[in-house]
Amino acid sequence: MQRELKRDFERHPQFLDEFLRKREFDHLEIFSRKLYDCSLAFQGKVADVLTKNRAVESALVALATCPLEKQHLHGIMASLQG
């Protein structure tokens, strides 16, 4: 657990140890802020993944139905790589 969160608490190296041992009120601010940041980052990543997945899926559908010509294939492949 500490390894996972280590990068998040670079500026507060003692935080994890202290939070687990002492649990003081001062720790709560840092903890809640980090948790909130992490959830926001996760939300952003989910949105990104879903958008990219939709783009890939539509490109694959286009690939299945497009005419077998260089121009069409090139366009779809460019969007897949892009």
Of residues 13, 17, 40, 55, which one binds other proteins by CB under 8 A? 40
53 interacts with other proteins by CB under 8 A = yes
Burial of 12 (0-12, 13-18, 19+ CB in 10 A): middle
CA quadruple 26, 28, 31, 35: dihedral positive or negative? negative
Q: Which of 13, 17, 35, 55 binds other proteins (CB under 8 A)?
A: 35
> Which residues lie near other proteins (CB under 8 A)?
1, 4-5, 8, 16, 19-20, 23-25, 27-29, 31-36, 38-43, 45-47, 49-50, 53
